[in-house]
Amino acid sequence: MRLLLFNEIEKIEVAIRSVLANFGCKELHDDFWITNPAHFADTKKFNQTLVVIDKELNGSKEEYITDFRSSYSETYPPSWMITEVLSFGNLNYIYSNIANNKLRKQIADYFGVKPMVFISWLNVLSNLRNMCCHHSRVWNREFVLRPVEARKLKYIWADTTTLDNKRVYYRLCIIKYMLNIISPHNDLCQKLTHLLANYPQIDNSAMGFPHDWDAQNFWQQ
């Protein structure tokens, strides 16, 4: 389950890096917007982010970073390079501090949610990703973070009326929703079905799965 979750979250993380950098450059007309304090609401949060950016850039051996340093005089690389060296959590920290409401809405709308829901879901997925990386138990865990309950979503959403949002199934629904946008022909449902079939002794309800989860239109996409 950890491997499955990590692999699917990775796809979402790549999409968020791309959308955050590209939408920001286009809307703000500034290729270096991520390191420009004028584009952020909270100066303290911006400065904290800049410390992280400096640390990651100074420690990076990526060829595109070293090539930039040797070829250009700017203090920082453009935003699409910076997003590549930052963690999932750092990306959310940047997004939540964007001052331009139009940009915040554009990015969240790409993923079919409102900004408040987007921030919450990114926190949840970042936390889950870290647990998977550190080999923590996730399958029947009661997570501390509660995702914001989404209303009037742009695309088809799971029936969450009876779900426990502190269980892994709810997080799988978030992952599936976002994958349906960035990878419309994803096979998450098949992967999950196969995994559960290999372990029939596992109580799916301990993970928050409803008995008819795979029959929902949401999972058939």
In the chain, DSSP assigns E strands to none
Give the percent of the chain with pLDDT over 90. 95
C-beta atoms surrounding 38 within 10 Å: 9
pLDDT for 62 equals 93
pLDDT mean across residues, the chain: 95
Measured between alpha carbons, how far is 171 from 175 in angstroms, rounded to an integer? 6
Measured between alpha carbons, how far is 61 from 8 in angstroms, rounded to an integer? 26
Measured between alpha carbons, how far is 8 from 14 in angstroms, rounded to an integer? 10
pLDDT at 161 over 90: no
pLDDT band at 71 (very low <50, low <70, confident <90, very high): very high
pLDDT in tens, 112-141: 999 999 999 999 999 999 999 999 999 999
pLDDT in tens, 180-221: 999 999 999 999 999 999 999 999 999 999 988 999 999 988
